[in-house]
Homo-oligomer: A and B are copies of this chain.
Amino acid sequence: MTATLLDGNALAAQIRAEIQPRVASFTARHGRPPGLGIVLVGDNPASEIYVRNKLRAASVVGMRADLERLPESAVIEDVLRVVAGLNASAVHDGLLVQDPLPDAMGPGAARQVFDVIDPAKDVDGFHPVNVGKLVQRRPTLVPGTPLGVIELLERSGIPIAGARAVVIGRSDIVGKPMAMLLMHRDATVTIAHSKTRDLAGLAATADILIAAIGRPGFVTRGFVKPGATVVDVGITSVTDAALVSRLFPAGHPRRDAFERRGSLVVGDVHPEVADVAGALTPVPGGVGPLTVAMLLSNTLHAAEMRTER
């Protein structure tokens, strides 16, 4: 193994440590802490974990963090009403609606809900006006995951300007904003996707390779230029023993962990990439913790912007 592991947990702790005194200062100036409201609909187990992590992280840095729960049987009007309440709330500076919404609400429900979030409180950065401002390189709220990746690269001393970057995946939440943030920092960026020809060959031209497709172990050795920085945004909980055995040899501690628990969280990047990459984010403990740290950063930013402009 040659790759330096980029420690997302350590960096997230550092970011939280930087945020904490600013939260205290905000609280002293305004007589209340920055406030985050999270709307959780239904009982998706992964969402439960994500939301718990976000609420706890906000509390730890001294923010107010409120959970608004709606049952699986809720209709979209219920969600819109809760969002309207948080939009109007004087003590909430940021709000997000945890994705996904229950399937019964239909395929356009999330979009409809994100569109009514006050852009000034939109700490996930999903509102079209915030997306547009990001493209136009204006101050705005940017999705936490790509923002976290930028923090990780910059604080790890990985040069972005002039670098060739390939982003695999073109989602609204990661791929597209990731490409914009890298381009604004003078990288030359290509977005690759399922229709890309010779994906491995293209990926292997990258100095910075971002994998954000949600396909466990998809990015193998042949995708990576020796010495490249590889950022693994994928987080998939795997229960398929055959897949795990392709990723980890017998006796590997993670394979043992799988055999004990019956599931394993893995990324889009095959472990063998550690033998060729120059730097690599682990999964878990890479990009994931940064996503939450940047949510706190966005909430603080929203609070400062709302109250002090």
Chain A residues proximal to chain B, CB less than 8 Å: 111, 127-133, 135-136, 138, 161-162, 164, 170, 172, 176, 183, 186, 188-193, 195-197, 202
Contact = CB atoms under 8 A, between A and B. Distances in A.
Given A128-B135, A161-B195, A188-B197, 8 more contacts: A128-B129, A130-B132, A131-B135, A132-B133, A135-B135, A135-B176, A162-B196, A188-B190
B202 A195 contact: no
Contacts of A135: 128, 131-132, 135, 172, 176
B196 A188 contact: yes
A176 B188 CA distance: 13
Contacts of A132: 127-133, 135
Nearest to A136: B172
A189 B188 contact: no
Most chain B beta carbons < 10 A, residue from A138, A186, A190, A202: A190
A191 B192 contact: no
Contacts of A161: 195
A202 B188 contact: yes
A188 B197 CA distance: 8
A188 B196 CA distance: 6
Contacts of A170: 183
A111 B138 CA distance: 10
Nearest to A190: B190
17 contacts: A111-B138, A127-B132, A128-B128, A128-B133, A128-B135, A128-B136, A128-B138, A129-B129, A131-B136, A132-B135, A161-B195, A162-B196, A183-B193, A186-B193, A188-B190, A188-B193, A188-B202
A188 B191 contact: yes
A143 to B, nearest CB: 12
B189 A195 contact: no
A196 B205 CA distance: 13
A187 to B, nearest CB: 8
Contacts of A172: 135-136
Contacts of A191: 183, 188-189
A190 B179 CA distance: 10
Contact of A189 (B162, B186, B190, B197): B190
Contacts of A189: 190-191
Nearest to A184: B170
A197 B176 CA distance: 22
A170 B131 CA distance: 16
Contact of A195 (B129, B136, B186, B195): B186
B188 A195 contact: yes
Contacts of A183: 170, 191, 193
